[in-house]
């Protein structure tokens, strides 16, 4: 449907005409009741003046800024009025007013399974407006409900395509083996193709996901004349039934990562210490001595508690 706008005439001259018709009708009724001017046509003309006044008043319309009126004449689209102010239209026009202002749509929180099957809660805030009043009025029965339904559908689709965090993505990434199982591998021990699991996560890819959601919504809303200005994820959490377990999993992953860093640092310190000691002594340590020193230093550097020195007396 092609939308086109037109300009209405100012309502003030029409209002002045209506006032003149009312005064004329009243004067004709006055003359009809006072002899010697007695004419049966005077009341008829007076009634016609009043009826014409009511007919003209029906065409008056007031539009606020950022409002539009879709006009139909006997079921046929005639145009869209966007001219703000006090205007007059053909009284036979059927007019449907709607706002062109920005609106905010809150979607969710919705419970959705992410890309690896974990239930998560996700919500979004969508800012939109009516860009083409004719399409929003004539292409869909209720554009507000349409925006709500399409927003929920797009948000569910977005959440189902991405994992919650990178640890879930790594755990769920299917790998291929050389066995005879029924997995999705290719038999070479290489991970499955990257498109099987998206590299963007719900937790860390908020800006990218907002852009993806915006494009998806614009694609869905364009046919009905709706322009989506902005879309942002406003709520993201694990579903209550798995929240505790997932938090413990995240804590364990953090502890493992910290231990890995501590171990790597301890190994580097021990390597430097042994090299410096052997350089000072001028000869290589015996393998048993190196093993004992490495073991003792690892206990001291990696242990959670402060090590207690023990003196070997040889007894």
Do the domain assignments include residue 130?
yes
Residue 95 lies in a domain: yes
Same domain, 108 and 72: no
Q: Domain limits at 90?
A: 9-99
Q: Look at residue 108 and tell me if it is in a domain.
A: yes
In order, the DSSP letters of the chain are ----B--PEEHHHHHHHHHHHHHHHHHHHHHHTSTT---THHHHHHHHHHHHHHHHHTTEEEE-TTEEEEEEETTEEEEEE---EEEE--TT-EEEEEE-S-EEEEEEEEEEE-TTS-EEEEEEEEEEEES-HHHHHHT-S-HHHHHHHHHHHHHHHHHHTS-SSHHHHHHH--B--SSS--SS--SSS-BPPGGGS-S--TTT-HHHHHHHHHHHHHHHHGGGTEEEEEEEEEEEEE-HHHHHHHHHHHHHHHHHHHHHHHHHHHHHHHHHHHHHHHHHHTSPPPHHHHHHHHHHHHHHHH-SSPPPP------
Residues 94 and 107 in one domain: no
Q: Are residues 141 and 87 in the same domain?
A: no
Does 36 share its domain with 61? Answer: yes
Residues 107 and 232 in one domain: yes
Whether 145 and 220 share a structural domain: yes
Say whether both 50 and 126 belong to one domain.
no
Could you tell me if residue 309 is inside a domain? no
Question: Quick one: pLDDT at residue 195?
Answer: 44
- Same domain for 149 and 258? no
Asked if residue 210 is part of any domain, the answer here is: yes
Please report whether residue 90 resides in a domain.
yes
Out of 69, 99, 129, a domain closes at 99
pTM confidence score:
0.65
Q: What is the pLDDT along the chain (315 residues), one digit of tens a residue?
A: 778 788 888 889 988 998 998 888 888 777 766 665 556 777 788 888 889 999 999 989 999 999 999 999 998 998 899 888 899 988 999 999 999 999 999 987 888 888 888 888 999 999 999 999 999 999 898 999 999 999 999 999 998 888 887 765 555 554 444 444 444 444 444 344 444 345 788 888 788 999 999 999 999 999 999 999 999 998 888 877 766 666 776 677 777 777 788 888 888 888 888 888 878 777 777 788 778 878 877 777 777 666 666 655 544
Q: What is the domain-level CATH number for residue 138?
A: 3.30.479.30
The count of structural domains within the chain is 3
The reported pLDDT for the residue numbered 182 is 42
């Amino acid at each position: 449907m092609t939308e086109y706008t037109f300009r209405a005439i100012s309502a003030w001259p029409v209002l002045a005409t209506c006032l003149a018709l009312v005064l004329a009708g009243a004067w004709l009724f006055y003359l009809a009741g006072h002899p010697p001017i007695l004419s049966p046509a005077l009341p008829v003309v007076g009634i016609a003046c009043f009826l014409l006044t009511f007919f003209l008043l029906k065409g008056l319309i007031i539009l606020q800024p950022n409002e539009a009126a879709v006009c139909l004449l006997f079921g046929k689209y005639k145009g869209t009025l966007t001219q703000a102010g006090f205007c007059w239209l053909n009284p036979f026009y059927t007019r449907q007013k709607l706002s062109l202002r920005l609106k905010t749509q809150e979607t969710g929180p919705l419970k959705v399974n992410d890309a690896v099957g974990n239930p998560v809660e996700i919500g979004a805030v969508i800012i939109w407006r009516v860009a083409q009043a004719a399409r929003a009025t004539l292409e869909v029965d209720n554009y507000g409900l349409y925006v709500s339904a399409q927003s929920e559908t797009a948000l569910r689709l977005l959440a189902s395509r991405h994992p919650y965090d990178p640890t879930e993505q790594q755990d769920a990434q299917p790998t291929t083996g050389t066995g005879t199982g029924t997995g999705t591998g290719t038999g070479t021990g290489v991970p499955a193709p990257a498109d099987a699991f998206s590299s963007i996560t719900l937790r860390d890819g908020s800006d990218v996901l907002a852009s993806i959601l915006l494009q998806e919504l614009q694609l869905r809303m364009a046919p009905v004349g709706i322009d989506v200005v902005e879309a942002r994820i406003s709520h993201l959490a694990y579903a209550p039934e798995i929240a505790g377990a997932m938090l413990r999993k995240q804590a364990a992953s953090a502890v493992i990562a910290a231990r890995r860093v501590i171990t790597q640092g301890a190994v580097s310190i021990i390597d430097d210490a042994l090299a410096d000691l052997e350089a000072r002594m001028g000869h290589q340590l015996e393998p048993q001595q190196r093993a004992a020193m490495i073991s003792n230093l690892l206990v001291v550097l990696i242990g959670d508690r402060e090590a207690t020195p023990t003196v070997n007396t040889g007894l």
